[in-house]
Amino acid sequence: MPSKLLSLTLYSLAALTLVNLVHAADPSITFISPDQVKNIGDTAELVCIVKDAQYIVEWGKGDKPGNISERIAVESQIASADKAKRFKVTVKDTTVGESPVSTYTLQIKDVRACDAGVYECQILFLENLTTKQTRLTVQGAPPSDKC
């Protein structure tokens, strides 16, 4: 008898979990900062607001939309020690109505010419990828490959 009860309980939990997964709202990016122009040495803040952010959110960088070649941060963790000196991600969680909303702010201190490019906020969920991009243009020095 206990094994039937255990089996029924496990089946019920599995069914309930499946129903929750099917009916859970897919996360969406509701806001991304507009394109920005900064001078060498400025601080840039790029904001990505995500609704129903139950999955991993990343910041990436590339030279043009659709060509994101560098991972900057996963959640609030900067991907490289070199970038961690000038880059920081803060996450602020709030609720709008009954929906959880998270604001991911990528801060770049002491902006350099090599920081110019397309920055992409990415939500990785199940087998889907939701993205929005913004561009950072840096004035005041010729482009440089060294950062």
List of domains in the chain: 25-139 (2.60.40.10)
* Residue 128 confidence class, pLDDT cut points 50, 70, 90: confident
pLDDT at site 96: 85
Average pLDDT over residues 113-142: 91
What pLDDT does residue 143 have?
A: 63
Strands 87-96 and 99-108: antiparallel
pLDDT digits (tens, 9 = 90+) for 18-64: 334 444 578 999 999 999 999 999 999 999 999 987 889 999 999 88
Residue 1 has pLDDT above 80, yes or no: no
Say if CB 140 and CB 110 are below 8 A apart.
Answer: no
